[in-house]
Amino acid sequence: MAQHTEQRNERAFTAIWLAQCISFLGFEIVGFAAGVWVYQHTRSVLLFALTVFFNVLPLALVPRLAQMRVVRRHQRLGMVLGEAGAGISTLALAALLFSGKLETWHVFVARLAIASSCAIQRESLSSAIQQRIAEPRRARANGMVDIGRVIGMIVSPPLSAVLITGFDFESVFWAGSATYLLSLVTLAGVTMGPLQSGPGVASTPQSSEGRKRARSFLVAHPGLLCLMLFFAFTNLVMGVVSVLLTPLVLGFSSILTLGFVASAAGGGVLIGSVLGGRIRGPAQRVHGVLALSVVQAVFLVVGGLMPTTPVITLVTFLFLCCVPIMVSFAQGIWKSKVPEALEKDVLAVREGIAWCALLLGYLVAGPLVDHGIEIPRLIASSGVALLLITIVGFLQPRLRRVEKEIRDTAGHDPSEASAHADETA
């Protein structure tokens, strides 16, 4: 009976995964088109940055809401509501554009609604994997989800650019609506089996006591606190640079070129994830993190000094290729140094700081450019700032010696941590 339930849940997951891939493709092509439409109609980097901001904000906030417990328990309902909400919001965009009444604030509201719906869908899917997929197959299921999202990042920008160039923005919004409808039809035919018993139930939002424990632990271990703050700064730089990519490329080339440059970003994430799962790194993994940060800084300076299509494409690919490898190294450190009882609480604090830094980067970039700073100069300056903060990291003994000064947690298996880090990247 248990084996039959597992097989039933795995078949259901395969169908759900296909639906998720379809809807993520729609999310990405509409997001690309919405951002380009806002920038072309306003020529304001700030307004474009706000489009990106509202597109990402729900992904940071929604999983932390206490109300998500209901969605995590009723996963199929959460997925259906997520797909329906995203589809209706995208249809509204298409209808407003068709009637000639689409305004910038409409795009902000629609992207906020679409991203919120997709965040609910993601939480439901993550919970379904944790509660309905047997533990030996759980890593494979999570890997399939990650691969589907990265492939969407690679395929959707050029696809959206081709639709815009060959037809118009309206065609992209109608196509996005169709992906959500197709995903809903796929979900309608899915029947889930009962929940798996035992551990693995999706996590609940962090409590105030958990936050206090995590903060106390980080303050007591300044090396780990420095590592968290270092990644917060790199996220800030990434937020600034990612917002600048679209106006930079559109300033000297076409929407089609932008689509392929953005696709290179997804390719960098994919290759970096593969390499992050294969490269063991130096004995002191923090040295690998800092060294790759120097490489990223150099890429940004080169991109700012030579803003041409080949250079920007290569820099985008290589910069993002470094990110999963750095995350893999850092995750190995956190896994080995944080007690198991505090892992979830510390992770929640780290993620909160990282999201805040990324969102702040989006908001900082727009006003700087709109008030006269040239985009290439700001990109190069971001590279210099990243280089300086990395040098400070090298000179900070608590960060540089974090793996020597903090003991591994009791029962820690280095090979297990390495595998976990590879999987996380």
CB distance 22 to 186 below 8 Å = yes
CB distance 194 to 206 below 8 Å = no
Phi, then psi, of 11 in degrees rounded to 5 = -65, -40
Q: Does the predicted TM-score (pTM) go above 0.85?
A: yes
State whether CATH 3.40.50.20 applies to domain 208-424: no
Phi, then psi, of 69 in degrees rounded to 5 = -60, -40
Instruction: Determine the pLDDT at residue 208.
Output: 75
CB distance 239 to 365 below 8 Å = yes
Q: How do the pLDDT tens digits run along the chain, 425 residues long?
A: 455 556 666 777 888 888 888 889 999 999 999 999 999 999 999 999 999 999 999 988 877 775 566 666 777 788 888 889 999 999 999 999 999 999 999 999 999 999 999 888 888 888 878 777 777 777 888 888 888 888 899 999 999 999 999 999 999 999 999 999 998 888 877 776 555 544 444 445 566 788 888 889 999 999 999 999 999 999 999 999 999 999 999 999 999 999 999 999 999 999 999 898 888 878 889 999 999 999 999 999 999 999 999 999 999 999 999 999 999 999 999 998 998 888 888 998 999 999 999 999 999 999 999 988 999 999 999 999 999 999 999 999 999 998 888 888 754 544 444 444 443 33
Instruction: Determine the pLDDT at residue 187.
Output: 82
3-state secondary structure the chain: CHHHHHHHHHHHHHHHHHHHHHHHHHHHHHHHHHHHHHHHHHCCHHHHHHHHHHHHHHHHHHHHCCCHHHHHHCHHHHHHHHHHHHHHHHHHHHHHHHCCCCCHHHHHHHHHHHHHHHHHHHHHHHHHHHHHCCHHHHHHHHHHHHHHHHHHHHHHHHHHHHHHHHCCHHHHHHHHHHHHHHHHHHHHCCCCCCCCCCCCCCCCCCCHHHHHHHHHHHHHCHHHHHHHHHHHHHHHHHHHHHHHHHHHHHHHCCHHHHHHHHHHHHHHHHHHHHHHCCCCCCCCHHHHHHHHHHHHHHHHHHHHHCCCHHHHHHHHHHHHHHHHHHHHHHHHHHHHHCCHHHHHHHHHHHHHHHHHHHHHHHHHHHHHHHCCCCHHHHHHHHHHHHHHHHHHHHHCHHHHCHHHHCCCCCCCCHHHHHHHHHHHC
Positions of CATH 1.20.1250.20 in the chain: 2-188, 208-424
CA 33/CA 157 separation, integer angstroms: 9
Ramachandran region, residue 200 (left: φ > 0; alpha: ψ -120 to 50; beta: rest): left
CA 379/CA 44 separation, integer angstroms: 17
Instruction: Determine the pLDDT at residue 2.
Output: 52
Phi, then psi, of 8 in degrees rounded to 5 = -65, -45
Q: Which of 32, 122, 109, 29 is nearest to 72 (CA)?
A: 122
CA 111/CA 33 separation, integer angstroms: 11
Is residue 402 exposed (0-12), middle (13-18) or buried (19+ Cβ within 10 Å)? Answer: buried
Residues sharing a CB contact under 8 Å with residue 68, sequence separation 6 or more, in sequence order: 62, 120, 123, 205
CA 408/CA 61 separation, integer angstroms: 32
Residue 8 to residues 21, 134, 137, 156, 199, Cα–Cα distance (Å): 20, 11, 14, 31, 20
CB distance 28 to 156 below 8 Å = yes
CATH number listed for the domain at residues 2-188: 1.20.1250.20
